Amino acid sequence: MSQYNTLFVGLDVHKESIAVAYAPEGRDSAIVPLGQIGTRHCDIDKTLRHLQSKSPKLLFAYEAGPCGYWLQRYLSRKGQSCLVVAPSLIPRKPGDRVKTDKRDSVTLARLLRSGDLSPVYIPEIEDEAMRDLGRAREDALSDLKAAKLRLKSFLLRHDIGYEGKANWGPAHLRWLADDVAMPTAAQRIVFQEYVRAITQHSERLQRIDEQLREQVKGWRMAPLVEAYQALRGVQFHVAATATAELGDLRRFDKPRQLMAYVGLHPSEHSSGSTRRQGGIAKTGNTHARRVLIEAAWAYRFMPKVSRRIQVRQETLPEAIRDIAWKAQVRLCARFRRLVAHGKNPNVVVTAIARELVAYMWAIAQQVQLPTPQKA
């Protein structure tokens, strides 16, 4: 027989164990820790049956982390409500210096009951798959840059420098293949291994690029990816990454909410009559913030609809093209104005990225997306 109307269940999820605690309705009710269970489905089902014997309505919550969203999706398929909450927004007592799995689960249950937890956005399975593919490309690009840096550092140590204009172009690659000669056999082996690593990473990056373009064609978010490319600086990889990481921007009521979600709003520490604003908060999604700042550098030039932008805009509605041109006129002028006032270029480009994401929000309002298929 059910003892409670609702149970608020806190889960502290790890790779091989889950600490469970539940809080009945009513602030005076004691929170009950159930201990640790395994992460197998049978272990979760057993705990679920035990909790359902105490209450017909269960509400679960656990912290977002490296274990992803599989538990939330599994509980949802079982007909249960489960929140994945932002760890950085969980209220914590400054004087509490003891952290255990049991205390964490009890804290989650108590805060879930009081309504003090902030849930994170949970992407659809298809959207998360595209996000994983985009991050795989980012890893491949990072590995390629690291391999190139190792080779350049190796050549610098031996006073071998390229006198051409551009590194890693066809002329530079021919120079590496034909003109670089190392004095010893061991150094020739090192040189060839570094060159081979660059070739392998380049081929890997090219393969992932091709797969990413192919997968985006059948993605339900493909209209958003195409629409974002109307903006200057927002080429395919920027648009695909921003879409995969941020999802459907129409869920934000105002652009300022999106700016704060990406972490491009200024931090602040004010008290009384003193107001102190610092650098950007850097909360939220770092991958999306990186590509937005990368795209914002394009606005340091005069407004212009280049041939590449014309090609990207050919199939887009007039309303989206108007938003893109309005963004160019405003952001290019603001970039030059802030630089003329003596602002650091890195500070300026961050301010431009903050406004750029607002124009992306405006474009998203003009795009109709199909309803996601539930698993």
305-321, pLDDT tens digit by residue?
999 999 999 999 999 99
Q: What is the pLDDT of residue 305?
A: 93
The tokens describing 125, both together, are 């399975």
Note the pLDDT of residue 93: 86
Q: What pLDDT, on the 0 to 100 scale, is given for residue 184?
A: 95
The answer to whether 20 and 34 are in contact (CB under 8 A) is yes
Higher pLDDT residue, 202 or 88? 202
Does position 333 have pLDDT exceeding 60, yes or no? yes
- Residue 227, pLDDT > 70, answer yes
With H, G, I as helix, E, B as strand and everything else as coil, classify residue 96: coil
Best CA proximity match to 6, nearest among 61, 45, 43, 62:
61
More confident position, 362 or 25: 362
- Rounded to an integer, the average pLDDT of 190-205 is 96
What burial class does residue 136 get, using C-beta atoms within 10 Å of its C-beta: 0-12 exposed, 13-18 middle, 19+ buried?
middle
User: Nearest-CA neighbor of 154 among 106, 187, 113?
Assistant: 187
What is the Cα–Cα distance from 373 to 81, expressed in whole angstroms? 19
What does the pLDDT read at residue 271?
79
In this predicted structure, what is the pLDDT of residue 2? 63
> For the chain, what is the mean pLDDT?
93
Looking at residue 278, its pLDDT comes to 77
Whether residue 375 is predicted with pLDDT greater than 70 in this model: the reply is no
DSSP SS3 for 300: helix
Banded model confidence at residue 88, pLDDT cuts 50, 70, 90: confident
Per-residue CA distances from 83 to 11, 72, 359 (Å): 10, 7, 30
Place of tokens 């570094």: 194
pTM exceeds cut of 0.75: yes
For the stretch 139-160, what's the b/e string if a residue is b when 16 or more beta carbons lie within 10 angstroms of its beta carbon? ebbebbeebbeebbebbeeeee
pLDDT of residue 134: 96
Quick check: 373 pLDDT over 70? no
